[in-house]
């Protein structure tokens, strides 16, 4: 068994989800856009995407355990309906990870922002700037994607919580 674990951060949404894995300074990014119509089609697609992500991680880092942190859905723009469909997608991701034997912890947005960026109400530019400074190669590869920045910070939150 290899030393340590892959920290997998997931930023789910109703029709897209982003995964970032970190292991010993290396990273893996999967930005799954266009999962399909929200609800059952998106859930089925994100279940498969999640299994594919686990496959990519186990191919890249064989015999390394994976621990996952998924951002909790919050009521925000779009209201309760938007949050509900995000919950469906999040549940499919959590179920697929559990199916693979991977432990999953939920983390709310203000908790990971406070622990990682230093302020629980950090805005998007602050989070992006943190990622740009901390992981410049990942930032360049992501093309400034806020979803990738958030998923990277969620994964880093997991690393910090297990030190």
Domain borders along the chain are: 6-161
CB atoms within 10 A of CB 38: 18
Whether the per-residue pLDDT at 162 is higher than 90: the answer is: no
CB 6 within 8 A of CB 23: yes
| pLDDT of amino acid 1 | 43
Task: Provide the pLDDT confidence category of residue 2 given band limits of 50, 70 and 90.
Answer: low
CA atoms of 20 and 35, how far apart (whole Å): 17
Structure tokens at 145: 């994607």
Q: Which CATH architecture has domain 6-161?
A: 2-Layer Sandwich (3.30)
């Amino acid at each position: 068994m290899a030393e340590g674990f892959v920290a997998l951060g997931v930023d789910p949404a109703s029709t897209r989800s982003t995964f970032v894995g970190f292991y010993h300074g290396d990273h893996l990014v999967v930005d799954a856009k266009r999962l399909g119509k929200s609800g059952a089609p998106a859930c089925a697609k994100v279940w498969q995407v999640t299994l594919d992500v686990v496959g990519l991680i186990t191919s890249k880092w064989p015999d390394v355990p994976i621990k996952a942190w998924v951002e909790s859905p919050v009521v925000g723009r779009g209201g309760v309906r938007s949050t509900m469909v995000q919950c469906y997608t999040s549940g499919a991701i959590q179920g697929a990870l559990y199916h693979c034997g991977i432990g999953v912890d939920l983390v709310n947005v203000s908790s990971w922002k406070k622990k990682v960026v230093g302020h629980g109400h950090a805005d998007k530019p602050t989070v992006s700037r943190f990622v740009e400074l901390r992981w410049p190669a990942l930032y360049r590869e992501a093309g400034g994607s806020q979803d990738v920045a958030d998923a990277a910070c969620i994964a880093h939150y997991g690393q910090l919580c297990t030190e």
